Amino acid sequence: MQRLGSTGDTFDDEGTFAPEHLPEPGAFLDGHDVLTDGDHTEFHAATWEIFEERGVYDMTFGYNLAKLNLDTRHPEAGFRYAEEQADVLRAEFTPTTEFCPAGNSLAIGAFRAWNGLSDRHDYDLVRVRVAKMHNESASLNDDLERLELILQEEGEVPGPDALREGSA
């Protein structure tokens, strides 16, 4: 299995917390304990494994979406995390551009992966939102909130049809 790794100046080394190559924590993380240093890299290492198993890939770049956090070409893109409470994590995804056409599928894929393999990390729930810089963040975040409610009501990660009209 390919690991995050490093390839010259293009990617930070695996296990590195380089805040200059990460998006600033946004509104969804305000007022919560933002993960930094070892806490960030530990959760992100679990994220790599989870995304690899669940196939959460950014097809534009051809890599596991977790690798975006290490891609020095996109220092304002990737995931930031904050603890809402001991068993709930907030994850904010900042796409590479405000018009990223894959923002929806990547954020929903991350939500499903983290919550579908919750035995791989220390949280019962990972809440996911897209940063406000994305032109469709309001509707994307409404979808993510609906998925979260379905998960809490039904106790299972919603399937791919959960957001279709009449099924949620």
Q: Identify whether 5 is part of a domain.
A: no
Lowest mean pLDDT among 78-82, 114-118, 156-160: 156-160
Q: Identify whether 126 is part of a domain.
A: yes
Q: Identify whether 124 is part of a domain.
A: yes
Q: Identify whether 12 is part of a domain.
A: no
pLDDT at 165: 53
The pLDDT tens digits for 7-43 are 457 888 888 898 888 999 999 999 999 999 999 999 9
What is the number of structural domains in the chain?
A: 1
Q: Tokens representing 95?
A: 């796409």
Q: Identify whether 4 is part of a domain.
A: no
- Per DSSP, helices labelled H in the chain are 37-54, 103-116, 137-154
pLDDT over 70, % of the chain:
93
Mean pLDDT throughout 117-124? 95
Mean pLDDT throughout 57-76? 92
Closest-CA residue to 77 (of 115, 7, 28, 133): 133
The secondary structure of 55-83, three-state, reads CCEECCCCEEHHHHHHECCCCCCEEEEEE
Q: Identify whether 96 is part of a domain.
A: yes
User: Domain residues for 95?
Assistant: 19-154
Q: Identify whether 165 is part of a domain.
A: no
Query: Per-residue confidence at 48, pLDDT binned at 50, 70, 90?
Result: very high
Give the span between the Cα atoms of 113 and 49, in whole angstroms.
Answer: 10
pLDDT at 13: 84
pTM for this prediction: 0.90
Q: Tokens representing 2?
A: 């390919």
Q: Identify whether 1 is part of a domain.
A: no
Residues β-bridged to residue 85 = 88
